[in-house]
Amino acid sequence: MFYEIGKKHGLPHDPWKSCVVPRPIGWISTINRAGIANLAPYSFFNGCGDFPPHVMYAPLGQHVDGGAKDSLANVEETKEFVCNMCTYELRDAMNESSRHVGRGVNEFETSGLAMEPSQMVKPPRVKASPIHLECRYVKTVELPSWSDEYRNYVVFGQIIGVHIRDEVMTNGMVDIRKFKPIARLGYLDYTVVENSFAMPFPDNGAKAEREKESPRPHVKQPAE
């Protein structure tokens, strides 16, 4: 099939979000000027730069009270955020933290999640999350949108500190089978990432040799 965005596709739901999958979940904690913490999941989220590393998340539409979502308003006010990585075990609390609640409500509290202080930024971390990226706000980019009520923003931040709990590491590397991050698919579907396969870069023999020297036991090698 082919359909043109903005025109009738004849399907029960627009399938485009099921085509760009899986999308990792950036569980974003911020803090406002008054010091109230905020937490919300964003699946329009990814790493998007290196040397130094950057991430992005995209707050779309409006807050239930009108105006920018808290994760956008707060980061523009206080210039810092944390990406807490979400695991299968934390899925229900993550979902609960997406509830549209009034401004000034701390979703750590409404989702039953303990806060843990960050090292380099003011927003707290989700204590139960095994990986946290402490970030400094870089900029907001506004993308085109079809209505003034539904605006498309992308927030970019630079990662300045990384916490990784020892329990999700094997031989000094993040072990996907221990980490078990969840990610968004289309519709109401999610996936949990717990296996992987390796493929050396075609033009990077030295790196391939290094990988051979320290093999990751869980990584399936493609059949010869």
Query: Counting contacts by CB under 6 A, is residue 184 touching ligand FMN?
Result: yes
- The region of 40-48, 114-122, 137-145, 173-181 touching ligand FMN under the rule CB under 6 A is 40-48
Interatomic CA distance for residues 45 and 62, integer angstroms: 18
Note the residue count of the chain: 224
- Quick one: tokens of 18? 């099921």
Place of tokens 């399907």: 11
Query: Counting contacts by CB under 6 A, is residue 134 touching ligand FMN?
Result: no
Three-class SS state of 150: coil
Interatomic CA distance for residues 33 and 144, integer angstroms: 29
Whether the CB-CB separation of 113 and 94 falls below 8 Å is answered with no
Whether the CB-CB separation of 218 and 173 falls below 8 Å is answered with no
- The region of 1-9, 60-68, 171-179, 199-207 touching ligand FMN under the rule CB under 6 A is 60-68
Query: Counting contacts by CB under 6 A, is residue 63 touching ligand FMN?
Result: yes
Q: Where in 70-89 is the site for ligand FMN (CB under 6 A)?
A: 70-71
Query: Counting contacts by CB under 6 A, is residue 38 touching ligand FMN?
Result: yes
- The region of 6-14, 47-55, 59-67, 198-206 touching ligand FMN under the rule CB under 6 A is 59-67
The one among 40, 75, 154, 155 contacting ligand FMN by CB under 6 A: 40
Question: Which residues are near ligand FMN by CB under 6 A?
Answer: 25, 38, 40-44, 58-61, 63, 69-71, 95, 98, 100, 184
